Amino acid sequence: MILPGTQVAKSATATNAIVIVYTVPSGKTLYLNSCNLNFLASAATVFYLGVRDTADVDQYYIITLTGAVATADTGHSMTFPIPLEIPAGWDIFVRSTTASGTAYGFIHGFEM
């Protein structure tokens, strides 16, 4: 399916950090079509793919996963029949809560 606007496909990796996957440019809206979050953990860790506003306050988590001791690479993907609308200035981020786990996030959508 061809959609109007500019295609956005971005990824980021986080270990014991919050890493921005993408910030929606001023005057644009991102229509998020799909995303995934994978992780590798050697101890209990929580992983997030989320959205935060212009004040860096978490607004919602698209995917939340929990890894246990020695969890092999695993993950979750989502496709949205009606894209999520993310306004200008907001970030999509990946978060790993400890140094014992690494999260890999990917997003795909269009911005107009």
* C-beta neighbour count of 56 within 10 angstroms: 11
Residue 98 has pLDDT above 80, yes or no: yes
Q: What is the pLDDT of residues 35-46, one digit of tens each?
A: 999 998 888 889
Q: Which domains does the chain possess?
A: 6-111 (2.60.120.220)
Greater confidence (101 vs 28) lies with 28
pTM (2 d.p.): 0.91
Nearest to 62 by CA among 29, 94, 87: 94
Average pLDDT over residues 25-48: 93
Say what the pLDDT of residue 83 is. 95
> What is the spatial distance between Cα 75 and Cα 38, in angstroms, rounded to a whole number?
4
1 has a pLDDT exceeding 80: no
CA distance 93 to 19: 6
Contact (CB, 8 A) for 100 and 17: no
